[in-house]
Amino acid sequence: MPLLEVKGLEKSFGGLKAITDLSFSVPEGQIFSIIGPNGAGKTTLFNLLTNIYKPTKGSIFFNKKDITKLPPFKIAALGISRTFQNLQVFMNMNVVENVMVGCHLRSKSGLFASAFRLPSVIAEEKRVRDMALEALEFCGLKDYSSQPASALPYGILKKLEIARALASKPRLLLMDEPAAGLNDTETMELCRLIEAIRDSGITVLLVEHNMGLVMEISQTVLVLNYGRLLAKGSPRDIQKNPEVIAAYLGEG
Amino acid sequence: MKRLLGFYIFSFITLVLPILFPDNYYVTVVGLTVLINISLAVSLNLLMGYAGQISLGHAAFFGLGAYSSAIFTIKYGFNPWTAIFFGLLIVFLLSYILSRPILKLKGHYLAMATLGLGIIVHIFFVQADEITGGPDGISGLPTLSIFGFPIDTDLKWYFIFAIFMLITVLLSLNIADSRAGRALSAVHGSEIAAQMMGIDTAKVKSHIFVFSALIACIAGSLFAHQQNFVSPESFSFFFSIELVTMVVLGGLGSTFGAVVGAFILSILPELLIVFEDFEVLIFGAILMTIMIFLPDGLFVAIKNKIAFLAFKRSQKEVANATS
Ligand SMILES: Nc1ncnc2c1ncn2[C@@H]1O[C@H](COP(=O)(O)OP(=O)(O)O)[C@@H](O)[C@H]1O
Ligand SMILES: [Mg+2]
């Protein structure tokens, strides 16, 4: 049974069709990669899956539940989290606070309880901080925990987004070009990190241009071209597919 | 203990001042203005500094609290505490109903909408003279008593305002260090990322809007009883702008920043009186200079500087220890 199922998805921006009649399903436990040239509609697809954009047509099922019309925060509550191609780190907070926001769904103090700092809040604060530190440690960021986010280099911020997403204990993690802008060492580390995430039981939907990385760690690769599904299969099949080579792989 | 050290020191100074100088004009007269302005600036900072949602209409809720106390006690003969409760009820309903549609707006549009709210409420104070007494306002509020103990001198009012202000500051500090506060900062930092972390951003913004309005409302009721008089002037658009200036001057997003901003903006006009006609000019020049050279605000800039120096010193110690 697939964890995520997309049926007949379509998105137009005015006259431009960014996604056309897209259907696919993602089995649980995989690293499932989506590749395609710039402008193919990969980020748009992520924005549709999280309902940051409303689909023009089609439906999305997560864990058999129709999530097409749910607001993003409810989709997150069902167990989908993501990182962003253009960083969306909370620059007004330090590292551990960023990740503590990721624990929002795993804690519950409201404004009133927080304002009066009821005993339950004090206990929860400690618990949330520990959960955040655990996520930071998993991503190798523990030493940065008290640094302000605004003072950190790009590579660290990209990892911070991953730690923040993991802190919500998602079942499905969407990663939009996590290797972009990273050097070779950082990319290697990222590779191991993504595998560790998958091994911890989280299904990973990965958008990435680094073909070495994609082919090494994915179980399934889906190729998008002008918003349409061009091919889908194992990394080996995709690398041999003549249409894919002509449209995408061949050029690089 | 360490978390609230600054708060304890601040409370101590605030409460000791009137004991040391009970007859000083700056403590018991200007001091009252300072205290009420701090409460208002701190409450506005919850919305503006924490959640990043500007409001140019905060004075409206301050005014509604004040007018509710005046109208319900004088015109309808209610007990002052019942009147305060009615004020809270009105402001709660109004702010709650308005919060969702208003806070859907962003940036300039949000500024315009809150500005409009402030202006409409002010026009109501001026025009609805049957209820509000029109431009002349209403005078002669009954004395407020706490457990049968009448608050009838400036010195007593100082303590009431001070305690209210300190509670506001404490609540604000608590919120900053909590799940709710982080949710607000997340909305400020990136609304999309906040939603992806499961935060119902519309709800969070609405709650803090109501919370901040309720604090302003209580401040208004206390102010009306202390002044013994309400008139539309005190709750105009200009006062809303002044509150925004206080928050920005001290440092957006910092509770003590709002405290410092409110303190300076309330004290400065008093000090500048010696310049007579040039008072407003110099006032403006000081504000401009601070904002140009310290865009993060006065308090936040100084705090960061100290943190930076401490960081450098600890680095030096590490270097010394390892060499
Ligand atoms: N908010 C938007 N408004 C208009 N057009 C958009 C918007 N978002 C994406 N597009 C367009 O949709 C197409 C796909 O973009 P995108 O999903 O960002 O591609 P990718 O991530 O694969 O590089 C592009 O032509 C882009 O210009
Ligand atoms: Mg993209």
**H or E element, residue A110:** none
Q: How far apart (Å, rounded) are the C-alpha atoms in residues A177 and A158? A: 10
The structure tokens listed for A182 are 């990273």
Q: Is the pLDDT of residue A178 over 50?
A: yes
- Selecting from A73, A88, A115 the residue whose C-beta is nearest the C-beta of B198 gives A73
Judged by CB atoms closer than 8 Å, whether chains meet at A88 and B190 is answered as: yes
Higher pLDDT, B251 or B39: B39
Answer yes or no: are the C-beta atoms of A71 and B195 closer than 8 Å. Answer: yes
Task: Give residue A83 CA to ligand 1 midpoint distance, Å.
Answer: 17
A201-205: average pLDDT: 97
Name which of A73, A90, A117 is nearest B195 (Cβ-Cβ): A73
Is the Cβ pair A168, B177 closer than 8 Å?
A: no
Rounded-to-integer distance, Cα A20 and Cα A29, Å: 27
* Record: contact A93-B193, CB cut-off 8 A: no
Q: Is A86 in the pocket of ligand 1 (CB under 6 A)?
A: no
Determine the atom of ligand 1 nearest the C-alpha atom of A53. 1
Rounded Cα gap, residues B126 and A20, in angstroms: 59
One-letter amino acid at A214 equals V
Cα–Cα distance for residue pair A181/B218, rounded to 1 Å = 52
pLDDT band of residue B316 (cuts 50, 70, 90) is confident
Distances in Å between the Cα of B20 and the Cα atoms of A163, B17, B24, B27 are: 53, 5, 9, 10
Predicted local distance difference test score (pLDDT) of residue A177: 96
Closest-lying ligand 1 atom to the alpha carbon of residue A42: 22
Residue of A78, A86, A90 best to disrupt the B interface, most CBs of B under 10 A: A90
Ligand that comes closest to the CA of residue A223: 1
Counted domains in chain B? 1
Q: Cβ(A162)–Cβ(A83) under 8 Å?
A: yes
| pLDDT tens digits for range B4-51 | 999 999 999 999 999 999 888 888 889 999 999 999 999 999 999 999
Cβ-Cβ contacts under 8 Å, B175 against chain A: 111, 114-115
Return phi, psi of residue A60, to 5°.
Answer: -130, 130
Tell me: pLDDT of B146 over 60.
yes
Contact B196/A107, CB-based, under 8 Å? no
**Residues of B in Cβ contact (< 8 Å) with A50:** 196
End-to-end Cα distance, chain B: 35
What proportion of chain A, given as a percentage, has pLDDT over 70? Answer: 98
Q: Enumerate residues with CB within 5 Å of ligand 2 (an ion).
A: A 42-43, 85
> Looking at the predicted structure, is the pLDDT value of residue B227 above 50?
yes
CB of A3 shorter than 6 A to ligand 1: no
A110-122 confidence digits (pLDDT tens): 999 999 999 999 9
What single-letter DSSP state applies at residue A51? Answer: T
**Average pLDDT taken over every residue of chain A:** 94
The lowest-confidence range among A151-155, A243-247, B166-170 is A243-247
List the A16-27 sheet strands across, edge first.
A16-27, A2-13, A57-62, A65-66
Q: How far is Cα B259 from Cα B169, in angstroms, rounded to an integer?
A: 8
Tell which wins on pLDDT, B202 or B305.
B202
Determine which of A73, A93, A168 to mutate to test the interface with B (most B C-beta atoms within 10 Å): A73
Residues of A in contact with B179 (CB under 8 A): 100, 104, 107-109, 114, 121, 124-125, 128
For B198, which of A89, A128, A168 is closest by C-beta distance?
A168
pTM, entire model: 0.93
State mean pLDDT over A202-216.
95
Residue A11 alpha carbon, nearest atom of ligand 1? 12
Q: What's the full length of chain B, in residues?
A: 323
Residue A242 has pLDDT above 70, yes or no: yes
Angle between helices B58-70 and B237-250 (to 10 degrees): 130
Cα separation, A174 vs A185, in Å, equals 22
B77 by Cβ neighbours in 10 Å (0-12 / 13-18 / 19+) ranks as: exposed
Name the residue in chain B with its Cα closest to that of A46. B196
- pLDDT at residue A252 is higher than 50: no
Chain-chain contact of B197 with A117 (C-beta, under 8 angstroms): no
Handedness of CA A37, A38, A43, A45 (dihedral sign): negative
pLDDT beyond 60 at A239? yes
Domain of residue B46 covers: 5-322
What's B256's domain CATH number?
Answer: 1.10.3470
**Can you give the pLDDT at residue B312?**
76
Q: What pLDDT digit, counting tens, does each position of B90-126 carry? A: 999 999 999 999 999 998 999 999 999 999 999 999 9
Which of A89, A121, A164 is closest, CB to CB, to B178? Answer: A121
Q: What is the DSSP letter of A94?
A: B
- The pairing of strands A203-207 and A31-35 is parallel
pLDDT at A201 > cutoff 80: yes
What are the chain B neighbours of A113 within 8 Å (beta carbons)? 180
B interface residues, A as partner, C-beta within 8 Å: 171, 174-175, 177-183, 185-186, 188-190, 192-201, 204, 207-208, 211, 253
Residue B279 has pLDDT above 80, yes or no: no
